[in-house]
Amino acid sequence: MLWQNPCVPETRILEVADDEIKDAVVAACALLRAGEIVALPTETVYGLAADAFNPAAVAKVFAAKERPSFDPLIIHIAARGDLKNVAIVPDDIAETVDKLTKAFWPGPLTLILPKHPAVPDLVSSGLPTVAVRQSAHPVFRAVNKELGRPLAAPSANRFGRISPTSASAVMKELGGRIPLIVDAGACAEGVESTIISIEPRVGKKPIFRLHRAGPITKEQLQEFGKIEKFREIQATAPQAPGQLASHYAPLTPLILLENPADFVPETGKKYGLLSYTGDDDGPYVTLHDWDVIESLSPGSGKLAEAAIRLFFVMRLLDEAGLDAIIAEPVSETGLGVAIMDRLRRAAANF
């Protein structure tokens, strides 16, 4: 049965124009102050926000998403100076944190740092660390600032499902479960923030453990530290479901076809192609008489556009009544690392 928030018979969508965000900020803050949860746009994907210092409100986030309590949330702060209220930055990485936050905040870089005791354990799922970022979205920032408190906000989808990059996608995921969705149009980045933790080294640049690839690329981070994959040192179970093999998944089976020659269609089945450019002469488009083709970056093949459209296109194909979605890989450089990471996790169920 669908989980129903007893206090929320109906979900309201409030559209905001670029130059008129005040009403939405007032409405969102009134609900957040009352301990409610609100879907807000960020530059990456839509987030489901709660006052991070209110455990009862944070509990509603877990309930609405059907998220297991062992999967910690990201805390969003309004200003760099607020970091000290949610995390305790050790002296040996203080300079690095300073450089990273000056270079990439506000923006899609999340840092895992030792948790401040004031942060409820529910937010960090009992971990001694907390994930923190400062969103660059004008609406999210304005709500964060007006509320005067940090916001705990995971992506506004049900657990394990496709992250929402529009208000209508949030409605499909959480309609009837939350009182308000603030609609500021499509998200500018389209994939979730890059997540790293920092390990200091004496006399050398620190090591950055990449917990999740995202819009801030390895190439951009390299100036500040040495990037190593988080999973390479993780011999046992993942610490958090964002690292689970299966995540960001459509309900329709998705197959990531690294080699076109491996495709063996079954007769009578409907297949859709998740193409990169949709090139008519390309090895993927010509492979089969597809029931539907959707392209990440039609014609041009730009990774930034592909990232923005990724979850939108996944959702379109998921709703197309197919037996399977066949996904074409993109080149694994820059933003392509984050896109391939999401495609692999979407494919991992099947």
Q: Residue 42, interface with Mg ion (CB under 5 A)?
A: no
The answer to whether residues 306 and 330 touch, using CB atoms and an 8 Å cutoff, is yes
- Residue keyed to tokens 């980045």: 189
For ligand TXA, the closer of residues 173 and 328 by Cβ is 173
- Residue keyed to tokens 């389209």: 190
Instruction: Determine the Cα–Cα distance for residues 29 and 149; give it in Å rounded to an integer.
Output: 10
For Mg ion, the closer of residues 241 and 265 by Cβ is 241
Q: Residue 275, interface with ligand TXA (CB under 6 A)?
A: no
Q: Which stretch binds ligand TXA (CB under 6 A): 17-25, 39-47, 198-206, 220-228?
A: 39-47
The answer to whether residues 349 and 248 touch, using CB atoms and an 8 Å cutoff, is no
For ligand TXA, the closer of residues 72 and 179 by Cβ is 72
Nearest Cα residue to 294 out of 322, 260, 268, 262: 322
Q: Residue 131, interface with ligand TXA (CB under 6 A)?
A: yes
Q: Residue 155, interface with Mg ion (CB under 5 A)?
A: yes
Q: Residue 124, interface with ligand TXA (CB under 6 A)?
A: yes
Q: Residue 32, interface with ligand TXA (CB under 6 A)?
A: no
Q: Residue 260, interface with ligand TXA (CB under 6 A)?
A: no
**Could you give the residue ranges of the DSSP H alpha helices within the chain?**
22-33, 55-65, 83-86, 91-104, 121-124, 138-147, 167-174, 218-221, 303-318, 336-347
Q: Residue 195, interface with ligand TXA (CB under 6 A)?
A: yes
Packing angle between helix 303-318 and helix 167-174, nearest 10 degrees? 40
* CB atoms closer than 10 angstroms to residue 103: 14
Site for ligand TXA in 196-215 (CB under 6 A): 211
Site for ligand TXA in 234-253 (CB under 6 A): 239-242
Nearest Cα residue to 161 out of 249, 252, 46: 249
Residue number with the smallest Cβ distance to Mg ion: 155
For ligand TXA, the closer of residues 25 and 195 by Cβ is 195
State phi, psi for 298 to the nearest 5 degrees.
-55, 125
Q: Which residues bind ligand TXA (CB under 6 A)?
A: 42, 44-45, 47, 71-74, 108, 110, 112, 124, 127, 129-131, 153-155, 192-193, 195, 211, 239-242
Q: Which residues bind Mg ion (CB under 5 A)?
A: 155
